[in-house]
Amino acid sequence: MSIKDSITKEYMKDKATFADAFNFFLYSGSQIIDPGRLSTLDINSAVALRGKNKQIATLLEKERDVLKSAEIMTDGNAVYAILGIENQSYVDYSMPVRNMLYDSMQYFVQVEELTNAHREKNDLESGNEFVSGISRQDRITPVITLVIYWGPDNWDGSRSLHEMFDTTDETMLKYASNYELNLITPADMQKGDFKKFKTELGRALKYIKNSGDVESLKKEVEADPSFKSISRRTADMLNIVTNSDLVIEEKGDSVDMCKAIQGIREEGIELGRAEGKAEGKAEGLELGKEKGTILTLYNLAQDGTITLEIAALKAGLSESEFEKKAKEYLEK
């Protein structure tokens, strides 16, 4: 897993940020999903596919980025759902199939849990229910997966399963079930959209949207007073995701992005965009050894987001060299 994937995964684990993303996408920013009613689920899913003799034929295992169960109150009624987020630092052209598999596995797991519960109770009497393993009255919980693309360029991949097909035949498209991709991508967002977020996620996406043009980015940041005080958590994430090489002061929990952005390197952002695209073919990200990058990696290692070993590896240094250089920068 690249450092971009690691830091965005960690960023979206936060319940308030997670709820903010879904409130924006599902409810146009209305605060329907309460972070306090979210529960973290195991991101590892394993499905045992059995043959006709009931023996395990294939064991399918997948790991999600972030997965939570939600109790959503609408009109005084509780609606339950399983919500997942997949973070993308590059455009994955197989994303509709990949997400469909994630959702299908989650539904399969729910059915298996029902089957196991009935087996323990031995309460299925009718032939069809006994063979099915679940009763006619059993119900499962909706699963919604949301993809967040952390790049400034357009998502040029398919947004549905049908778009991946090599046919436009109306009969085929009518009866071959479709799967729509739920996607947040900064390039698609309008100015008013960023105001619909209640956490710093909106400002982060606004920053990313404009990061393809350094001068435009500086203007947007300087014109928005909210960028005067951004949490270090968000600043560190943006520094890695956009390869900005921001100069972030080590004191305090907040960052003045207007000051940090002054030393931003246009070539650094271009490098980050190129590396993001390359991740679709090869894992890993070779980061430069500039002051801002090394200090950001050092901060991430200090707060436990990544290990010191990984931070040094991403900086292209040994652990001892990495620590020495980071401490030298801190003393300056």
d(CA 64, CA 321): 34
How does pLDDT run across 158-175, given as a tens digit for each residue?
999 999 999 999 999 999
* Predicted confidence band of residue 301 (pLDDT cuts 50, 70, 90): confident
Pull the structure tokens for residue 288: 């430069």
d(CA 292, CA 326): 10
Task: Over range 270-295, report the average pLDDT.
Answer: 51
Percent of the chain with pLDDT over 90: 58
User: Per-residue pLDDT for 273 more than 70?
Assistant: no
The ranges assigned to domains in the chain are: 3-213
* Predicted confidence band of residue 50 (pLDDT cuts 50, 70, 90): low
**243 phi, psi to nearest 5 deg:** 55, 40
Q: Poorest-confidence range of 46-60, 131-145, 154-168, 243-257?
A: 46-60
**47 phi, psi to nearest 5 deg:** -125, 125
User: Per-residue pLDDT for 275 more than 90?
Assistant: no
d(CA 320, CA 310): 13
* Predicted confidence band of residue 265 (pLDDT cuts 50, 70, 90): low
Number of alpha helices (DSSP H) and beta strands (DSSP E) in the chain: 15, 9
**218 phi, psi to nearest 5 deg:** -60, -40
User: Per-residue pLDDT for 279 more than 70?
Assistant: no
**Average pLDDT across the chain, whole number:** 86
Q: Poorest-confidence range of 72-81, 86-95, 295-304, 319-328?
A: 295-304
Task: Over range 29-34, report the average pLDDT.
Answer: 96
Pull the structure tokens for residue 90: 């590059």
What's CA 64's distance to the chain center, in Å? 9
Q: Note the pLDDT of residue 251.
A: 67
For residue 69, list its beta bridge partners.
39, 82
Q: Note the pLDDT of residue 293.
A: 72
* Predicted confidence band of residue 282 (pLDDT cuts 50, 70, 90): very low
Q: DSSP label at 203?
A: H
